[in-house]
Chain A
Amino acid sequence: MNMEQASSKELLAYWQAHLDERARSHKKEGKLVCWSAALAPTEMFIAMDIAMVFPETHSAGIGARKGALDMLEVTNRDGYSIDICSYARVNLGYMRLLKEYARTGEKAEALAKSPAADVPLPDLILTSNNICNTLLKWYENLAVELDIPCITIDAPYIHDMPVPEYSKKYIVKQLDHAIQQLEGITGRPFDYDRFLAAQEQTQRSVKQWQRVASFLNYKPSPINGFDFFNYMALMVIGRGEEFAEIALRKFADELEENAKNGKFAFGDNERSRVVWEGIAVWPHLSHTFKSLKNQGSLMTGSTYPGMWNFEYTPGDLMSMAESYAKIYVNMCLDARAQELTAVAKNGRCDGMLFHMNRSCKIMSLLNLQTAEIVSKTLGIPYATFDGDQTDPNNFSPAQFDTRVQSLSEMIAKK
């Protein structure tokens, strides 16, 4: 592919596929593969040339390609309650099938026909609870099922702002410990130069990511917020490597060009702008998009992609620790409401839509309280809908449509 001429969309698809391919070839060559939580600090792993796979992104992909039910059935059989996060269930189902395949040499039908991206089993795993403690439980199970080392970065819940120094120190000591673990696992001395380079690269990627987000402020908007969700994958899988920066710059350039030429996401039909709070409903992404579009409602704000705004000073582990801890759902209600207010303001939103996600307690339990605060602060209405990011059964298109419609009516009345 000609990288210079490729569109950002092509680059996005290329790099997603390429990284899976890299993981597979790592596996073949006997090099290490690590499964990692989406918001865990990967800079250390890049430094040690470990191929990373991100189960949350992987599960989202399976969900979007309508392959979740097969995996969920496997975890059902294994005794996982349907109340558990569906990212975890899809991934643990996929893991089970890969494990069986590795043991017997035979691919189960569910695996053979799965639209899942083909990724190898890990040699080690990395988790962090900077977004949820569910990721601790999920990775415990992976560690014991696969009998592999688990590297954990515990980011204590920030119950009182600001983040206390002792909390940052605790995280820094864990980073040090992780480095030791990595030296032990790889049998090589840690590469501090590459570690620093990955930190510097992360900052450059974050800059481009913020540039992308800045277009949500344009009215009318050249960017459709759902693309914000799609391109987020680059921040998950590649923020410490150059390709993410390049692809995101391309995307931002395209948006700039579109804005200049009056090419807007909804053309002349942008009637209102809404916040989408929570994860996308991957199996029903196009339904949710179209339903909003029918109302002329463009999504121009979401806190979820903003979580990957890891701003810190390269070389300063205390600032890196703080940045990884300050994920907005890892903070007290006030801080959380402030973050959402800023997002709604940046997107010049007229209303808010809250995903009451059956899979995700950390992003559902405080929705009503956050909604009330932000709605009062900004004087904009909100609506909620029931859904699930990957279990297609927990979403009702009809309910979604009704809620979107009533939100539009509330917005119109104002």
Chain B
Amino acid sequence: MSRIDDIITQFQTVTANPKAAVEQYKKETGKGAVGILYLYGPEEIVHAAGCLPVGMWGGNKTISDARAHLVPFTCSIMQSVMELECQGTYDILDAVLISVPCDTLKSMSQIWKGKAPPITFVHPQNRNLAAANEFLVEEYGFVKRRLEEILGENIPDEAIERSIDIYNENRKAMREFCEITADYPGIIDPVKRHAVIKARFFMEKSKHTALVKQLIAEIRKQPMTPWNGKKIILTGIMAEPLGLLEIFRNNGFAIVADDLAQESRQFRHDVPAGRTPLHRLARWWQELEGCPLAMDPGKARGQMLIDLASRYEADGVVVCMMKFCDPEEFDYPIYYPQLKKAGIKNTTIEIDLEEKSFEQARTRIQTFAEVIH
């Protein structure tokens, strides 16, 4: 097995069994794990407490128990998360942070079914104001105090500063990884790319960074070969289940960049400098762009996608539309005509985490392959 394959396998082992990764972390460190439900949370505070921040993005599960608690028009990912809550999957966690940037998450925060204590907090939406920063610093202060109570640990500012450095380092490595994936699509296919990125949610970040850096170094040793397949950009909340990415791979698609909440939106910008670590973390939220959960009356997303497409010479954009996600659905009628006007071909596939067969998506992707050639 080549070194590259070996590293990729390590990431895939983590993403295939997050529970084992969390258990191992707890055993090795004697510390806890804290869930982040689900988009953006001040993971650095959790990390500073020595705990493992764990991403909570549902799973490829049939929905059954969740039906008793949610209306059928709840978005697919929250149905999936609720199912996992009911099944006790998240009971391995010591606490869960819940941010509420949409109406569904507000409701989810009130009906948490897991055993770990939930800590709900709010990301402010009038984001350009200094007052938003002050508000979020207070909210993060609240989160920090609750965590300290639950974990029985003091979380000093210096520790958070150190964690921010570790996270920024990881963000930088991730951006570099995404760049190199675009250069070496023959080596890193969509399935592998996703595993490297998703593993961030279950690995201590400095360990993740180290492994990603090794991977980048190994890839660079390889000759760059011309790519005869198609180059696409994904946009949306996430591109799962894995079966979807396999369809992309099997049809000769390379993902040259993404605008997914689960992927690049997490790391396309760093935590900036600032007065205190909490001010810095709050600024990160204020500077986040192009995500439908962060209010933006200027609606920068369409132009961002156009810029990405031209920078990576992409053949098209694939909209990964989370089923019943109204924030995402509101953006679409704005960026779709913009893409069209810019001559960027695009198609939409529905993201349903419960899906097992992917017939519809397969047809759409195959048709799209013909359209962009």
Q: Is B11 an interface residue (CB 8 A)?
A: no
Docked-complex contact B327 and A137, CB < 8 angstroms? yes
Docked-complex contact A362 and B324, CB < 8 angstroms? no
Docked-complex contact A362 and B332, CB < 8 angstroms? no
Q: Pick from A140, A332, A369: contact of B295, CB below 8 A.
A: A140
Residues of chain B within 8 A of A358, CB atoms compared: 73
Docked-complex contact B106 and A157, CB < 8 angstroms? yes
Q: Pick from A78, A152, A159, A170: contact of B100, CB below 8 A.
A: A159
Return the CB mask of A246-290 against B: 1 if under 8 Å, else 0. 000000000000000000000000000000000000000000000
Give the segment of B26-34, B107-115, B220-228 that binds chain A.
Answer: B107-115
Sampled A-B contacts (16; CB under 8 Å): A80-B332, A81-B332, A133-B327, A137-B330, A141-B330, A141-B333, A143-B298, A156-B122, A156-B139, A157-B106, A157-B109, A159-B100, A167-B138, A173-B130, A362-B106, A362-B107
CB within 8 Å of B: which of A156-171?
Answer: 156-157, 159-160, 164, 166-167, 169-170
Sample of 7 further A-B pairs with CB below 8 A, known A157-B122, A173-B129: A84-B330, A133-B125, A136-B125, A144-B297, A150-B297, A164-B142, A367-B71
How far, in angstroms, from A144 to B73 measured CA to CA in the complex?
28
Docked-complex contact A174 and B110, CB < 8 angstroms? no
Docked-complex contact B122 and A80, CB < 8 angstroms? no
Docked-complex contact B135 and A157, CB < 8 angstroms? no
Q: Is B354 an interface residue (CB 8 A)?
A: no
Docked-complex contact B135 and A166, CB < 8 angstroms? yes
In angstroms, how far is the closest chain B Cβ from the Cβ of A339? 14
In angstroms, how far is the closest chain A Cβ from the Cβ of B121? 7
Return the CB mask of B298-338 against A: 1 if under 8 Å, else 0. 11000000000000000000000000101101111110100
How far, in angstroms, from A102 to B292 measured CA to CA in the complex?
29
Q: Is A338 an interface residue (CB 8 A)?
A: no
Q: Is B296 an interface residue (CB 8 A)?
A: yes
Docked-complex contact A365 and B138, CB < 8 angstroms? no
Q: Is B39 an interface residue (CB 8 A)?
A: no
In angstroms, how far is the closest chain A Cβ from the Cβ of B73? 6
Question: Given that A159-B120, A365-B103, A365-B104 are known contacts, is A140 also in contact with B135, CB under 8 Å in the complex?
Answer: no
Q: Is A154 an interface residue (CB 8 A)?
A: yes
Docked-complex contact A136 and B295, CB < 8 angstroms? yes
Docked-complex contact B129 and A364, CB < 8 angstroms? no
Q: Is B366 an interface residue (CB 8 A)?
A: no
Pick the most buried of B104, B126, B130, B333: most chain A CB atoms within 10 A of its CB.
B126
CB within 8 Å of A: which of B114-133?
Answer: 120-122, 124-126, 129-132
Residues of chain B within 8 A of A219, CB atoms compared: none
In angstroms, how far is the closest chain B Cβ from the Cβ of A48? 20
In angstroms, how far is the closest chain A Cβ from the Cβ of B352? 13
Residues of chain B within 8 A of A365, CB atoms compared: 70-71, 74, 103-104, 107-108
Q: Is B162 an interface residue (CB 8 A)?
A: no
Docked-complex contact B326 and A152, CB < 8 angstroms? no
Q: Is B134 an interface residue (CB 8 A)?
A: yes
Q: Is B102 an interface residue (CB 8 A)?
A: yes
Question: Given that A83-B326, A365-B74 are known contacts, is A144 also in contact with B334, CB under 8 Å in the complex?
Answer: yes
How far, in angstroms, from A44 to B324 measured CA to CA in the complex?
36
Residues of chain B within 8 A of A31, CB atoms compared: none
Q: Pick from A129, A132, A154: contact of B132, CB below 8 A.
A: A154
Q: Is B69 an interface residue (CB 8 A)?
A: yes
Question: Given that A81-B332, A133-B101, A173-B131 are known contacts, is A332 also in contact with B125, CB under 8 Å in the complex?
Answer: no
Q: Is A368 an interface residue (CB 8 A)?
A: yes
Q: Is A198 an interface residue (CB 8 A)?
A: no
Return the CB mask of A85-108 against B: 1 if under 8 Å, else 0. 100100010000000000000000
Residues of chain B within 8 A of A160, CB atoms compared: 120
Docked-complex contact B70 and A166, CB < 8 angstroms? no
Docked-complex contact A174 and B73, CB < 8 angstroms? no
Question: Given that A136-B295, A144-B297, A365-B70 are known contacts, is A170 also in contact with B102, CB under 8 Å in the complex?
Answer: no
Interface bracket on A: 35 or more
Residues of chain A within 8 A of B120, CB atoms compared: 157, 159-160
Question: Given that A157-B122, A170-B132 are known contacts, is A361 also in contact with B103, CB under 8 Å in the complex?
Answer: yes
Docked-complex contact B336 and A79, CB < 8 angstroms? yes
Docked-complex contact B336 and A140, CB < 8 angstroms? no
Question: Given that A78-B333, A80-B333, A154-B132 are known contacts, is A134 also in contact with B103, CB under 8 Å in the complex?
Answer: yes
CB within 8 Å of A: which of B270-304?
Answer: 292, 295-299
In angstroms, how far is the closest chain A Cβ from the Cβ of B354? 17
Residues of chain B within 8 A of A410, CB atoms compared: none
CB within 8 Å of A: which of B331-351?
Answer: 331-334, 336
Docked-complex contact B110 and A140, CB < 8 angstroms? no
Residues of chain B within 8 A of A88, CB atoms compared: 330
Docked-complex contact B333 and A79, CB < 8 angstroms? yes
Q: Pick from B111, B297, B327, B330: contact of A366, CB below 8 A.
A: B111
Docked-complex contact A140 and B296, CB < 8 angstroms? yes
Docked-complex contact A361 and B132, CB < 8 angstroms? no
How far, in angstroms, from A83 to B350 measured CA to CA in the complex?
13
How far, in angstroms, from A150 to B106 measured CA to CA in the complex?
24
Q: Is A139 an interface residue (CB 8 A)?
A: yes
Docked-complex contact A356 and B330, CB < 8 angstroms? no
Docked-complex contact A137 and B292, CB < 8 angstroms? yes
CB within 8 Å of B: which of A39-84?
Answer: 75, 78-81, 83-84
Docked-complex contact A361 and B326, CB < 8 angstroms? yes
In angstroms, how far is the closest chain B Cβ from the Cβ of A141? 6
Residues of chain A within 8 A of B70, CB atoms compared: 365
Return the CB mask of B56-75 against A: 1 if under 8 Å, else 0. 00000000000001110110
Q: Is A177 an interface residue (CB 8 A)?
A: yes
Residues of chain A within 8 A of B111, CB atoms compared: 333, 366, 369
Pick the most buried of B102, B138, B333: most chain A CB atoms within 10 A of its CB.
B333
Question: Given that A159-B121, A366-B110, A366-B111 are known contacts, is A133 also in contact with B102, CB under 8 Å in the complex?
Answer: yes
Docked-complex contact A144 and B299, CB < 8 angstroms? yes
**Nearest-CB residue, chain A, relative to B119:** A159
Docked-complex contact A152 and B126, CB < 8 angstroms? yes
Residues of chain A within 8 A of B292, CB atoms compared: 137
Return the CB mask of A125-149 against B: 1 if under 8 Å, else 0. 0000100111011111101110000
Residues of chain A within 8 A of B132, CB atoms compared: 154, 170
Question: Given that A133-B327, A140-B296, A366-B111 are known contacts, is A154 also in contact with B138, CB under 8 Å in the complex?
Answer: no
In angstroms, how far is the closest chain B Cβ from the Cβ of A375? 16
Would you list the 3 A-B pairs with minimal beta carbon distance, nearest first?
A365-B107, A173-B131, A137-B330
In angstroms, how far is the closest chain B Cβ from the Cβ of A358? 6
In angstroms, how far is the closest chain A Cβ from the Cβ of B295? 5
How far, in angstroms, from A145 to B324 measured CA to CA in the complex?
23
Q: Is A111 an interface residue (CB 8 A)?
A: no
Q: Pick from B71, B124, B295, B334: contact of A156, CB below 8 A.
A: B124
Residues of chain A within 8 A of B106, CB atoms compared: 133, 157, 362
In angstroms, how far is the closest chain A Cβ from the Cβ of B190? 26
**Nearest-CB residue, chain A, relative to B299:** A144
How far, in angstroms, from A48 to B294 measured CA to CA in the complex?
30
Question: Given that A152-B295, A174-B129, A365-B70 are known contacts, is A159 also in contact with B122, CB under 8 Å in the complex?
Answer: yes
**Nearest-CB residue, chain B, relative to A369:** B111
